[in-house]
Amino acid sequence: RWGPFSSAPAGARRPHPHFGAAAAPGRPVRPADRGPGSRGRPVAPSRSADSAAGRAFAGTVGAGEAVRIFTGAPLPAGADAVVMQEDCEDAGDRVRVGRAVPAGRFIRPAGLDFTAGEDLLPKGRLLTARDVALAAAANLPWLRVHRRPRVAVLATGDEIALPGDPLGPSQIVSSNALGLCALVASQGGVAHNLGVAKDDPEHLAAMAAGAAGCDLLVTTGGASQGEHDHVRDVLGGLSLDFYRVAMKPGKPLIFGTANGVPLLGLPGNPVSTGVAALLFLVPVLRRLQGLPAENATLAVRLGAPLKANDDRTDFLRATLSPGPDGEPVATPFPRQDSAMMSRLARADALIVREPQATAAAEGDRVTVIPLSGGVLSL
């Protein structure tokens, strides 16, 4: 990714090129000097001037006359083709044309690339370095774009330590915040890692204040109803929009407003965080950039039988591989523990199991959300 998404169509302010230009160095010739029977005919370089890029020949090429022209230079009046330099031979004070050429040969006509007013960059396009070069060629000094979303990420929990730091006997390494920051960056946003907040209401509030000026605050952990879970009470308050979602993994999930900043509170288990971020954070980032929020899904074959589902939507981590007929087959991992990061990292897709879904046999069709090469890739 190079840059943000365009928020309005961009049309060319001028054609490109805006004049007929030589596509190769040589001699511009008139119709009478390039047609049948012109091979070997000498033409006089009666003017000592050249036509070069940035220094056009201002005169007219007359009958039996020639000037030198270089790549990118405007085609002089009177000429309608260019004979390449290697097909011309100096013959004293004249030039011998070694080849007959058709009209338009080695000429880039005005508007060959695009015309004035032509739509070049549609709304919602992810701008690349190539697009920036195209906009410059179209004489567009600026482009209207969606600003990159600014997302503050805050991990919570006394048990969390940063990678590389000494670990206490009851501590674990923080992976969620770093993964979320990478996900935000992969989706075109700018992530601000606020660090780790302790399981203390005052410390949590002070750390969350660092999200001021951001478009979104994402917390991880502390979203349940345990004695040490403070995100809901400290940051949600009366502005809480919803709490808990009937899904697994990822049931404890919060959305509201904290100090005027939209708040998305994700679970603490790493797989729950990753799945919830895919389903809730990625659509928010897309909407902030003017894009549709839907997650892409595919219908594939099931590679292993599944038991009947309970009353929550289940998102099973699975691999994708081509079946005997070439159709993709999704095979869920045998164990779906929400703390097993290796399974999420190796997964190619999430199998979506609706609430109360009946048992499924190998070969049945299932819906998956692809991961590899998609929203969770860097």
Mean pLDDT of 231-248: 71
3-class DSSP assignment, residue 240: coil
Alpha helices, DSSP H only, in 141-260? 176-186, 201-208, 231
| Cβ contact 353:316 at 8 Å | yes
Out of 75-79, 88-92, 167-171, 243-247, which region has the weakest mean confidence (pLDDT)? 88-92
| Cβ contact 96:89 at 8 Å | yes
92-151: pLDDT as tens digits: 667 777 777 888 999 999 999 999 999 999 998 888 889 999 999 999 999 999 989 999
Instruction: Report how far residue 28's alpha carbon sits from residue 373's, in angstroms, rounded to the nearest whole number.
Output: 51
285-327: pLDDT as tens digits: 999 988 887 778 999 999 999 999 999 999 999 999 998 888 9
* 228: DSSP letter: T
Is the CATH number 3.40.980.10 carried by domain 150-288?
yes
In the chain, where the domains are located? 1-11+119-146, 21-108, 150-288, 298-370
Q: Is 252 exposed, middle or buried (0-12, 13-18, 19+ CB in 10 A)?
A: buried
CATH number, domain 21-108, options 2.60.120.10, 2.170.190.11, 3.30.9.10, 2.40.110.10: 2.170.190.11
Instruction: Report how far residue 7's alpha carbon sits from residue 136's, in angstroms, rounded to the nearest whole number.
Output: 17
pLDDT band at 199 (very low <50, low <70, confident <90, very high): confident
What is the predicted pLDDT for the residue at 39? 55
pLDDT band at 367 (very low <50, low <70, confident <90, very high): very high
Instruction: Report how far residue 220's alpha carbon sits from residue 154's, in angstroms, rounded to the nearest whole number.
Output: 7
10-25: pLDDT as tens digits: 999 999 999 999 999 9
Instruction: Report how far residue 262's alpha carbon sits from residue 50's, in angstroms, rounded to the nearest whole number.
Output: 65
Q: In the chain, pLDDT over 70 holds for what percent of residues?
A: 87
Instruction: Report how far residue 264's alpha carbon sits from residue 293's, in angstroms, rounded to the nearest whole number.
Output: 16
Using the CB atoms, write b or e for 140-166: b if 16+ within 10 Å. beebebbebbbbbbbbbbebbbeeeee
Instruction: Report how far residue 263's alpha carbon sits from residue 217's, in angstroms, rounded to the nearest whole number.
Output: 5
374 versus 102: the higher-pLDDT residue is: 102
Mean pLDDT of 197-218: 90
Mean pLDDT (the chain, rounded):
85
pLDDT band at 330 (very low <50, low <70, confident <90, very high): very high
Instruction: Report how far residue 120's alpha carbon sits from residue 18's, in angstroms, rounded to the nearest whole number.
Output: 16
pLDDT band at 275 (very low <50, low <70, confident <90, very high): very high
CATH number, domain 298-370, options 3.10.450.50, 2.40.340.10, 3.40.640.10, 3.30.830.10: 2.40.340.10
Residue 46 has pLDDT above 60, yes or no: no
What is the predicted pLDDT for the residue at 272? 92
| Cβ contact 328:303 at 8 Å | no
What is the predicted pLDDT for the residue at 42? 54
pTM: 0.75
